Amino acid sequence: MNSARKLLFVLLLGLLFPLWTAAQELPRALAVPGGIAIVNLGAAAQKPEAHYKGKRVLVSQHQEEWLALVGLNLATKPGRHTLRTYIDGREGEQHFTVSDKQYEEQHITLKNKRMVDPYAQDLERIRADQARSRVAFASWDGAREAELGFATPVTGRLSGTFGKRRFFNGQPRNPHSGLDIAAPTGTPILAPAAGIITESGDYFFNGNTLFIDHGEGLITMFCHMDSIAVKVGQRVARGETVGTVGMTGRVTGPHLHWTISLNNNRIDPGLFLSRETMAALDAPNHK
């Protein structure tokens, strides 16, 4: 291939690549605790409705068939699970199988012992934080179809993976509910997809925190932010700056903690990114 033809090929590749990435709309299916089961509901005249354990789940159309995207929390038991469906006025059931997965342990030492054993006066604030989070994660906006082609919210290095069983100063705590991406304080944080800001504030453990509702029970949460650039009720577009990386709350260094919730179950955000993107985030760890 001569130089002129090589240049033409590179230019065409640059034009087509955004189309290829935009076409990668579905997250990767991985029916394990902390993963996503994608259940084919078949063709239907109207958009079907599906429920898992009493919670409505996101349904999206692909190639003339409807798919239910079921978030599975870390406490999900392996085995056969049931999805209740309502398709063109008919009630039915679909079944899927969840496989087992074991996650690694993570031991973290914190100098600020208050972040491991909060004072009595901290507990009221922590309970209030938890109540606000529960409301934000339980949100269901069926008026907007969720945008599933997620972008990475921050440029940085993967410093914490999803699902690790964590120990702070030797004491067991809840498993890690998201991805940690280390980056310098002040690094811009971008909305991974279009959505509406539903909650923000300064939380005891999570520091400056922001929630984005992407529609149909798909929620993202950002924690430990240095600054928040948006307000509750504001609509944001994919790639819009929503704040900056910081080290507020319970942290050992500046990073973004990124959680994704699907039908009110916290799932691995890495499933919304391509394997190539995840490898690029993790690459600095192997240099």
Same domain, 85 and 113: no
201-250 pLDDT, tens digit per residue, is 999 989 999 999 999 999 999 999 999 999 999 999 999 999 999 999 98
Q: What is the CATH number of the domain that holds 242?
A: 2.70.70.10
- Looking at residue 165, its pLDDT comes to 72
- Looking at residue 15, its pLDDT comes to 36
Write the CB contacts of 234 (distance below 8 Å, at least 6 apart in sequence): 196, 197
Same domain, 82 and 120: no
Same domain, 91 and 215: no
166-181 pLDDT, tens digit per residue, is 666 666 556 778 999 9
Give domain status of residue 15, yes or no. Answer: no
Bridge-partner residues for 202, per DSSP? 208
Lowest mean pLDDT among 14-23, 24-33, 120-129, 153-162: 14-23
- Looking at residue 10, its pLDDT comes to 32
pTM: 0.86
Same domain, 32 and 91: yes
Nearest to 58 by CA among 38, 30, 31: 38
- Looking at residue 167, its pLDDT comes to 62
Q: Alpha carbon of 82 to those of 79, 92, 184, 271: distances in Å?
A: 10, 10, 44, 22
The helix (run of H) or strand (run of E) holding residue 71 is strand 65-71
- Summarize the confidence of residues 76-103 as an average pLDDT: 96
Same domain, 84 and 110: no
- Summarize the confidence of residues 38-67 as an average pLDDT: 94
Looking at 98, 131, 161, which one is the last position of a domain?
A: 98
Nearest to 118 by CA among 109, 130, 110, 126: 126
For residue 188, give its domain range: 105-286
At residue 16 the predicted structure's pLDDT band, cuts being 50, 70 and 90, is very low
Same domain, 112 and 241: yes
Nearest to 261 by CA among 72, 83, 54, 24: 72
- Looking at residue 285, its pLDDT comes to 76
Q: Are strands 218-228 and 241-245 parallel, antiparallel or unpaired?
A: antiparallel
Give domain status of residue 16, yes or no. Answer: no
Lowest mean pLDDT among 83-92, 106-115, 123-132: 106-115
